[in-house]
């Protein structure tokens, strides 16, 4: 049986953080032996909201470098920049001709982001169509998605099924898979929200490249409560999050009983032991950006034959002359 094909996407709108490592990167790295995975940096999706060219360029390269530093092996897992495989955008247009305006405008993420005020880019509306193109282009079986991308994955399946029914079998229909990581990593300053790349202040985010001192301070300031009980409990979201991070980073529960101060020291050490090797390897790789760019170029080359075949099939199905 052919190995399962997976696509994991990262949007370069901010620095990769502990939540990305535990929820997406580690599962990607662990799956390298038993899946055919692709790691994609969705730089085109990072342009669907107001963006700064210099920052986009820097973040795309940084994310690629962090993926390598964390252990993504480009010999087994092509690392690609979305914009460097032009077939993504070609398929995007073809799929726009198979997607309803109503479908796109009903997406929760579009509604939320367009309600936030300020000018709205047309690409924000077509965001999920580009995401469908990313997935369908590479004949993907499984897409690890967090809750926020569930609806986009469902739309991808709808588009693929409808296209296949109307124009003949063209696309493999993907499944969404939940990241295997047990804990959802929440923001340390606001444990009601998920740790995110672009949360306003970022006060409760642990970026993978944060220096040890910054990590220590972020954990020390983490929100806890007055209950003085180290346990996972719905009434204690902050403490639950810290205990979860500790478990994910060390595979252990906190030594019991401990004070919140002691818990925070354990958590700091646990995070440091996980990120220190990534930070060190990143520093080496960042010294030679040309090497990282070469890896991206090779990744694009590796996925291109299949991408071209998908585009050719789609064009033919739609009635375009070959």
Query: Which residues contact ligand TRP by CB under 6 A?
Result: 7, 9, 11, 42, 45, 131, 134-135, 143, 149
How far apart, in whole angstroms, are the C-alpha atoms of residue 219 and residue 267? 7
**Any catalytic annotation for residue 298?**
no
**Any catalytic annotation for residue 197?**
yes
Catalytic residue of the set 11, 111, 197, 264 = 197
Nearer to ligand TRP (CB atom), residue 70 or residue 135? 135
Cβ count within 10 A of residue 316: 14
Task: Yes or no: say if 87 and 137 are a contact pair by the CB < 8 Å rule.
Answer: yes
Nearer to ligand TRP (CB atom), residue 45 or residue 264? 45
Catalytic residue of the set 11, 111, 194, 264 = 194
Residue number with the shortest CB distance to ligand TRP? 9
Q: Minimal distance in Å, beta carbon 271 to ligand TRP?
A: 22
Q: Using a CB cutoff of 8 Å and minimum separation of 24, what contacts does 246-249 make? A: 246/270, 247/182, 247/183, 248/22, 248/181, 248/182, 248/183, 248/185, 249/22, 249/273, 249/274
**Any catalytic annotation for residue 111?**
no
Q: Minimal distance in Å, beta carbon 287 to ligand TRP?
A: 28
Q: Minimal distance in Å, beta carbon 146 to ligand TRP?
A: 7
Q: Which residues, 6 or more positions from 286, have their beta carbon under 8 angstroms from its beta carbon?
A: 62, 65
How far apart, in whole angstroms, are the C-alpha atoms of residue 269 and residue 272? 5
Q: For the sheet containing 35-41, what is the strand order? A: 79-81, 35-41, 4-10, 142-144, 175-177
Q: Minimal distance in Å, beta carbon 171 to ligand TRP?
A: 14
Nearer to ligand TRP (CB atom), residue 142 or residue 266? 142
Nearer to ligand TRP (CB atom), residue 135 or residue 317? 135
Catalytic residue of the set 11, 113, 264, 298 = 113
Active site residues: 113, 194, 197
């Amino acid at each position: 049986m052919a190995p399962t094909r997976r696509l994991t996407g990262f949007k370069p709108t901010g620095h990769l953080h502990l939540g990305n490592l535990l929820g997406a990167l580690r599962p990607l790295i662990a799956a390298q032996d038993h899946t055919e995975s692709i790691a994609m940096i969705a730089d085109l999706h990072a342009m669907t909201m107001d963006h700064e060219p210099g920052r986009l360029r820097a973040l795309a390269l940084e994310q690629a470098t962090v993926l390598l530093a964390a252990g993504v092996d480009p010999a087994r897992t092509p690392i690609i920049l979305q914009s460097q495989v032009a077939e993504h955008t070609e398929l995007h247009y073809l799929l726009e001709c198979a997607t309803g305006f109503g479908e796109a405008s009903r997406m929760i993420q579009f509604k939320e982001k367009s309600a936030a005020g300020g000018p709205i880019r047309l690409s924000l509306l077509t965001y999920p169509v580009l995401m469908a193109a990313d997935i369908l282009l590479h004949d993907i079986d499984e897409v690890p998605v967090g809750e926020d991308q569930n609806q986009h994955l469902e739309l991808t399946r709808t588009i693929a099924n409808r296209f296949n029914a109307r124009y003949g079998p063209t696309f493999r229909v993907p499944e969404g898979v939940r990241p295997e990581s047990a804990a959802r990593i929440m923001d340390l300053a606001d444990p009601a929200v998920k740790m995110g790349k672009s949360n306003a202040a970022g006060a409760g985010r642990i970026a993978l490249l944060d220096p040890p001192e910054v990590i220590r301070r972020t954990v020390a300031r983490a929100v806890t409560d007055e209950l003085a009980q180290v346990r996972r409990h719905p009434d204690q979201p902050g403490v639950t999050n810290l205990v979860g991070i500790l478990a994910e980073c060390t595979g252990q529960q906190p030594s019991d009983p401990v004070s919140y101060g002691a818990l925070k020291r354990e958590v700091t050490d646990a995070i440091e032991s996980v990120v220190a090797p990534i930070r060190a390897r990143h520093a080496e790789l960042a010294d030679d950006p040309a090497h990282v760019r070469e890896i991206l170029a090779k990744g694009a080359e590796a996925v291109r034959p299949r991408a071209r075949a998908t585009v050719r099939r789609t064009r033919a199905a739609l009635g375009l002359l070959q």
